[in-house]
């Protein structure tokens, strides 16, 4: 995975240290940057612009901040991440460092998984075969990426996975990328495949994101209707208009291609096609309150099954030591199940757990809830995945349009797509691009200290 350069780290640190407190921008006025969407990318962009002492407006169509990273504490009485929950690669994840400064408890996720074969735990030999199958599949996809073979990821898998074929396809596809492997570019998956370790935030990933938005004036329930970039730049919302020198658009690719925002003139076909090839997959949580550890699993235990087809799921048990369990569904099966509604989703989760842990497990479920991200009007899905043959679509979306419009979000990061950290870094990068264009980017000169040290050293000689 890519790591932050020293310059990017210093810029990000400055943004974290900033305490922006800009008031609401009156409509009809001018700002330097309008930021559309208050998810991770939008918040990061706003912090970076604020750190540069530039005027901005942060506009969110929904009634809450966080985008696809939101924590709820009312449904179950404990932190429940409705969207993103995993903090990938904590050693290089900028949000982990921010969490420590904000007093949040981030702890490592277990490195092991529990595997079930029908109603029993996998035997040692079966577990060994499972782990070897996953490892070989990761390597095969990575090799396809190195060879620039932009085929469907499923075609890159080893041909001898046998009993673990469906399980591996689920883990790498619906569970890891929200789409079936036949719909995903092997090259795109290869670029993002290295996730060496993970962590969890005890208070919730969404709660951390909300904390990092403290001090930013976010204009909620304000959908953007039109962006006119024909001459200058004017953003029309349901509450009025704003003029700006730059716009950072962080909406999802599905929202972008659904024409929920009108662009005048229309966006170039190159960018629209790229967004369409980065459509969001389907991924939902079916949350179950099961106090007392009736499944006899560890805290944050990750459970997979040896499945025979696509009608499967994963289980994250006893989240942060609570009785909250998440049954994770995704891909085409998850999409079809979500269409049937929350009752059908919960019923599937109950039956699926019973098939693995016995019928008595159904009586242990006290409360339930299911997300349906495909129906969220300002999101319309889970995470982006490039279609086969379109691994370069993310790079295309990184290109600014007319020197006025920048895109940001998890879809606009080549090595960390589908992650909050990727969205955050893309927001910072877009903000720096806009600031640089208007001559407002102040960066530390890394060479000056080195030159001074060399000059003193020479004088001493």
Per-residue DSSP letter, 175: I
> How do the domains of the chain map onto residue ranges?
6-69+204-279+379-437, 112-196+281-375
The per-type count for the chain, helices as H runs and strands as E runs, is 16, 20
- Give the right CATH number for 6-69+204-279+379-437 from 2.40.50.100, 3.40.50.2000, 3.30.70.920, 3.50.50.60: 3.50.50.60
Per-residue DSSP letter, 174: I
Please state, in angstroms and as integers, the Cα–Cα distance from residue 314 to each residue in 24, 30, 295, 334, following that order: 43, 49, 14, 12
What pairing do the DSSP bridges indicate for beta strands 218-219 and 56-59? parallel
Q: Which of 114, 156, 46, 48 is nearest to 325 (CA)?
A: 114
Mean pLDDT confidence for 256-265: 97
**For residue 295, is pLDDT > 50?**
yes
Mean pLDDT confidence for 317-326: 98
State how far the Cα of 409 lies from the Cα of 400, in Å rounded to an integer. Answer: 14
pLDDT at position 441, please?
Answer: 78
Task: For residue range 185-228, list pLDDT tens digits in order.
Answer: 999 999 986 788 999 999 999 999 999 999 999 999 999 999 99
State how far the Cα of 329 lies from the Cα of 237, in Å rounded to an integer. Answer: 35
Q: Which of 374, 106, 430, 131 is nearest to 255 (CA)?
A: 374
Q: Answer with the residue of higher pLDDT: 157 or 193.
A: 157
- Give the right CATH number for 112-196+281-375 from 3.90.660.10, 3.40.50.300, 1.20.1440.120, 3.30.70.660: 3.90.660.10
Q: Give the pLDDT band of residue 40 (cuts 50, 70, 90).
A: very high
Q: Quote the crossing angle between the two packed helices 331-339 and 342-357, to the nearest 10°.
A: 130
pLDDT at position 26, please?
Answer: 61
Q: Among all chains, which residue has been given the structure tokens 């972008």?
A: 256
Residue partners of 399: CB distance under 8 A and separation at least 6: 270, 271
Q: Give the pLDDT band of residue 444 (cuts 50, 70, 90).
A: very low
**For residue 17, is pLDDT > 60?**
no
For the ranges 20-29, 138-147, 280-289, 320-329, the lowest mean pLDDT is seen at 20-29
pLDDT at position 22, please?
Answer: 40
In this structure, are residues 63 and 275 in contact, taking their beta carbons and an 8 Å threshold?
no
| Mean model confidence pLDDT for the chain | 91
State how far the Cα of 254 lies from the Cα of 261, in Å rounded to an integer. Answer: 11
Percentage above 90 pLDDT, the chain = 87
**For residue 21, is pLDDT > 80?**
no
Please state, in angstroms and as integers, the Cα–Cα distance from residue 300 to each residue in 209, 323, 325, 346, following that order: 21, 10, 9, 20
6-69+204-279+379-437 and 112-196+281-375: identical CATH topology: no
Task: For residue range 417-440, list pLDDT tens digits in order.
Answer: 999 999 999 999 999 999 999 987
């Amino acid at each position: 995975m890519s790591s932050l350069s020293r310059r990017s780290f210093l810029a990000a640190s400055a943004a974290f240290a900033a305490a922006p407190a800009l008031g609401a921008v009156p409509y009809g006025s001018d700002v330097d940057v309008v930021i559309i969407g208050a998810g991770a990318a939008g918040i990061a962009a706003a912090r970076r612009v604020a750190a540069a002492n530039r005027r901005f407006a942060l506009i969110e169509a929904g009634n809450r901040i966080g985008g696809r990273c939101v924590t709820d504490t009312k449904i179950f009485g404990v932190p429940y991440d409705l969207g993103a929950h995993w903090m990938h690669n904590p050693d290089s994840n900028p949000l982990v460092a921010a969490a420590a400064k904000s007093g949040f408890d981030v702890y490592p996720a277990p490195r092991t998984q529990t595997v079930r074969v029908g109603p029993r735990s996998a035997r040692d030999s079966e577990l060994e075969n499972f782990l070897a199958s996953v490892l070989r599949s990761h390597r095969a996809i990575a090799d396809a990426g190195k060879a620039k073979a932009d085929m469907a990821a499923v075609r890159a898998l080893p041909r001898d996975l046998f009993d673990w074929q469906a399980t591996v396809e689920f883990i790498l596809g619906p569970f890891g990328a929200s789409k079936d492997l036949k719909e995903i570019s092997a090259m795109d998956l290869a670029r993002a495949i290295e996730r060496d370790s993970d962590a969890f935030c005890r208070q919730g990933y969404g709660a951390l994101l909300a904390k990092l938005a403290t001090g930013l004036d976010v204009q909620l329930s304000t959908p953007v209707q039109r962006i006119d970039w024909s001459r200058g730049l004017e953003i029309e919302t349901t509450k009025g208009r704003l003029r700006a020198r730059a716009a950072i658009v962080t909406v999802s690719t599905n929202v972008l291609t659904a024409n929920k925002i009108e662009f005048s003139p229309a966006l170039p076909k190159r960018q629209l096609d790229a967004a369409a090839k980065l459509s969001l997959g389907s991924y939902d949580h079916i949350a179950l309150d099961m106090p007392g550890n009736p499944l006899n699993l560890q805290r944050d235990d990750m459970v997979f099954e040896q499945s025979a087809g696509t009608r499967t799921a994963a289980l994250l048990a006893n989240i942060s030591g609570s009785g909250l369990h998440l049954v994770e569904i995704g891909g085409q099966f998850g999409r079809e199940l979500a269409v049937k509604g929350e009752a059908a989703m919960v019923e599937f989760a109950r039956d699926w757990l019973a098939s693995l842990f016995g019928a008595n497990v159904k009586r242990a479920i006290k409360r339930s809830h299911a997300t349906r991200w495909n129906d969220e009007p300002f999101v319309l899905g889970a995470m982006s995945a490039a279609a086969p043959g379109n691994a370069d679509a993310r790079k295309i979306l990184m290109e600014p349009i007319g020197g006025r419009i920048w895109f940001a979000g998890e879809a606009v990061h080549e090595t960390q797509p589908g992650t909050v950290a990727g969205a955050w870094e893309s927001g910072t990068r877009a903000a720096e691009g806009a600031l640089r264009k208007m001559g407002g980017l102040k960066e530390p000169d890394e060479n000056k200290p080195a030159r001074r040290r060399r000059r003193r050293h020479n004088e001493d000689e």
